[in-house]
Amino acid sequence: MTATLTAPAPLKKKPGKPKQNREAILLFLPALLPVLILSVYPLIRGIALGFTDARAGLHVQTNFVGFENFSKLLHNNLFWDSFRIGVIWTLSVTILQFVAALGLALLLNTDLKFRGVARTLALIPWAMPPVVVAIMWRLLLHPTNGPVNEILQKLHLTDHPINFLGDFSTALPAVIVVGIWVGMPMTTVTLLAGLQSIDRTLYEAAAVDGAGAWSQFWNITLPQLRTVIVAITSLDMIWNFNSFGLVYVLTAGGPGGKTMLPMLFAYNEAFRYGNFGMAAAMGDVMVVIIIVFLFFYLRNRLRSEA
Amino acid sequence: MRTKPATRFLQYVAVICYLVFLGFPLLWLISSSLKSPQEFASITPSILPKHFDLSNYSDALNEQGLVRGLGNSLQISIYSTILVLIVALPVSYALARFRSRLRPLTNGWILVSQVFPVILIVIPLFMILRPLHLTNTIPGVVIVYTVWSLPFALWMLQGYVAAVPRELEEAASVDGAGRIRTIVSIVMPLLRPGLIATAMFTFISAWNEFFFALVLLQDPQLKTLPLVLARFVGAEGQVQFGPLAAASVLATVPSLVFFAFLQRRLTSGLLSGAVKG
């Protein structure tokens, strides 16, 4: 929801009143213990687990093995494949859905008809269970019963049914299209909210100065949208990089590992082969990638804003 | 405005393309759920069913596993929503009203929890819950969902608390009400739209959740609806498309209700009325 993007309102009261601090801590108590046990501790333990040889089993005996898991990963072709596929998936979904969403948001910000319909439809894909989205697209892309093949053949774009999700060359692109279908509406609505908060008088002033639509877009719309764009694209990238359920049900990483996203790879390591340590190491690698990405992306984007 | 007719035309084409891209899959799913088995067998599938047939829905609801999954999902979602609200209300009040040291820590944790890959959390969770005999149980999943929906619930709720006018609370404290009394009798009623929105959000996240459920629930009796649906597809070859589509539509209904409800509810000017009145 767009709530992610709205900062909490600034506080008016002065800080540091001891009585207030005590009251705040009391109000925090019911949440503190469960969160520490079931979220903070597992997170730290999970990071540490990547440096051990932990395996699934009734009595988990773990030994510290240093960087062994990481060096095994680096020598594993499947790891590199999943990493490459993860990057292709993340970048294609995020960039394509952003470009499409920006165009759409600009359209919906004008006085076109259908705006209401488009906005109402917009959040449904985002709220649908990912498993249902995956099932729906399996029905759509089905080689013999699916309407997509039916339409392509009617239009004579292909003479034989395509097994989109089962063919080596089409599986990843097909999965990417589904990813865009899920994510684009949410991005559109967020960008639309950003567009609507831009001060109209800026455009009026620019029009008086003789700026055309193009120049208004580059010099007003994009700079004014910068914070929203940075926020939504970085969230989209992280969500896409970490995504699991959608592709798990669409292809389970197949055919032949062509859609094996990093999370699917890690899940298989942990819960199919029982290599908890290896899966955690994979998680560690993903965290490092996300942190490095966030650092450079946010630093560059937000600095140029200031 | 001074948009050229040609541009205008292209704009409509673009919007219609979008609506088709967005709407066609949904339409196809719903229409598939209403088609009779004979229509599925036909070589040229039509977009709309020739005659509406509810047998897929009754078939889906006659499927043992599916009904059980529906029940499990309902239970888990309702319990974790109630727990989240109980835990989140005091914390978000504290977050919105006091500047304590826990505030930056909590907001940091909210961000971190959105960013981390769940694989790192799920293995240790599994290792913590198993000795407690909470893996493969509904309470175990409820606890996990509660903790993991909490960050977003706090993010939403603290915004709503911040929007409750302080004047009302000050008036209450002038009238001699204590902090707890103020929260219960002043803040909570005004917070109703926020609580409802948060509850719905939490319910939907639990209803849709797949990964934790996949790892924590092995027992077929306990599987949630998404797990049951996913297994349906796994056994390809014998998949009955009609009942599968019907079950998928049923699984999406809560989300649809959520949006139908939110759109009306959240725009109401409850708060402004309270201040001026």
Report residue B1 as tokens.
């405005």
- The answer to whether the beta carbons of residues B101 and A20 sit under 8 Å apart is no
Contact A8 B158 (CB under 8 A): yes
- B123 chain-A contacts, CB cut-off 8 A: 46, 49, 54, 270, 276, 279-280
Residues A34-44 pLDDT 10s: 888 888 899 99
Which of A3, A41, A131 lies at the smallest CB-CB distance from B229? A131
Touching A: B residues 216-275, CB under 8 Å: 225-226, 229-230, 232-233, 241, 244-245, 248, 251-252, 255-256, 258-259, 263
Q: In this model, does residue A185 exceed pLDDT 50?
A: yes
- B149 chain-A contacts, CB cut-off 8 A: none
Contact A129 B255 (CB under 8 A): yes
Touching A: B residues 186-205, CB under 8 Å: 201, 204
Low-confidence ranges of chain B (pLDDT < 70): 1-3, 40-45, 234-239, 262-277
B276 CB within 8 Å of a chain A CB: no
Contact B233 A135 (CB under 8 A): yes
pLDDT of residue B266: 45
Considering chain A, what percentage of its residues have pLDDT values greater than 90? 38
User: Could you tell me the pTM of the whole model?
Assistant: 0.87
Report residue A239 as tokens.
């969500």
- A45 chain-B contacts, CB cut-off 8 A: 124, 127
Q: In this model, does residue A289 exceed pLDDT 70?
A: yes
Q: In this model, does residue A272 exceed pLDDT 60?
A: yes
- The answer to whether the beta carbons of residues A134 and B226 sit under 8 Å apart is no
A151 CB within 8 Å of a chain B CB: no
A232 CB within 8 Å of a chain B CB: no
Give the CA radius of gyration of chain A: 24
- The answer to whether the beta carbons of residues A182 and A126 sit under 8 Å apart is yes
If one compares B88 and A8, the residue with the highest pLDDT of the two is: B88
pLDDT of residue A20: 64
Which of A9, A40, A129 lies at the smallest CB-CB distance from B251? A129
pLDDT of residue A2: 37
Average pLDDT over residues A233-258: 91
If one compares A123 and A94, the residue with the highest pLDDT of the two is: A94
- The answer to whether the beta carbons of residues A261 and A247 sit under 8 Å apart is yes
A134 CB within 8 Å of a chain B CB: yes
Q: Is the dihedral of CA B96, A232, B215, B198 positive or negative?
A: positive
- Identify residue A172 by its one-letter amino acid code: L
